Amino acid sequence: MDKTTKDLYSFFSHNIRTFNAEIVTTIECLKVGFIDKDSEEFDTVYEASYLLDLYDSCLSIILDYLDGAKIEKKSEEVDIVRITEEFLESIKGYLTASGLNIVKNFNDEIWYTDSYIFKNIYKIVLYEFIKTASKGISFNIAGAIEIEADEIIGALPDIFKTFQEIFDKIGFKLKFDNKKIVLEYLS
């Protein structure tokens, strides 16, 4: 197995098994009466299921890409602010538990690309970056997407290089270091 495939397997296996464990453990808590289904804790099941689906979709995109499938910039509309807001809402349990201070500065941005590929990879990029952030994180959407963390623990996964390549194919430039991500739309 080459390094890219190994990294890909390791990244997705780790995440999918983790989300699965979150679901199993929360259901067990419900079963034995430690939580009820209206509790905040039970929302873990919805959040982990949502992420499980997202990572599965992204895995399929990446396998297609590595298999040589044609990936190109399409003209489908993507509302960047709406996608970002919806994603942050989908992981609000995580954001609350993490205690991260979130600062948002959003201007309306409509971009045109392959919306399915964009949405799936963009959301994983967001989630992986959020997971490494501690203290605070700021989201700026105006012309480009800029996300910056006050402090980072660990490093972004190697698979970000593959995300960079795919973004490039659908009309974006992804730049990142350990404190900041910039996604530019190449119109």
Rounded to the nearest whole angstrom, what is the least distance from the CB of residue 96 to another protein in the complex? 10
Rounded to the nearest whole angstrom, what is the least distance from the CB of residue 29 to another protein in the complex? 5
Nearer to another protein, 21 or 110 (CB): 21
Residues near another protein (CB under 8 A) are 13-15, 17-18, 20-26, 28-29, 32, 34-35, 41, 44, 47-48, 93-94, 97-98, 131-132, 153-155
Nearer to another protein, 142 or 155 (CB): 155
Nearer to another protein, 137 or 183 (CB): 137
Rounded to the nearest whole angstrom, what is the least distance from the CB of residue 31 to another protein in the complex? 9
Burial 78-89 (b: 16+ CB within 10 A, else e): bebbebbeebbe
Nearer to another protein, 14 or 175 (CB): 14
Reading phi first (left if > 0) and then psi (alpha if -120 to 50, else beta), residue 93 is in: alpha
Nearer to another protein, 6 or 104 (CB): 6
What does the alpha-carbon distance between residue 92 and residue 137 come to, in Å, rounded to a whole number? Answer: 14
Strand spans (E) along the chain? 76-79, 101-106, 110-113, 133-142, 144-152, 172-176, 180-185
Rounded to the nearest whole angstrom, what is the least distance from the CB of residue 72 to another protein in the complex? 34
Rounded to the nearest whole angstrom, what is the least distance from the CB of residue 120 to another protein in the complex? 20
Listed residue (76, 184, 182) closest to 139, CA to CA: 182
Listed residue (108, 145, 140) closest to 125, CA to CA: 145
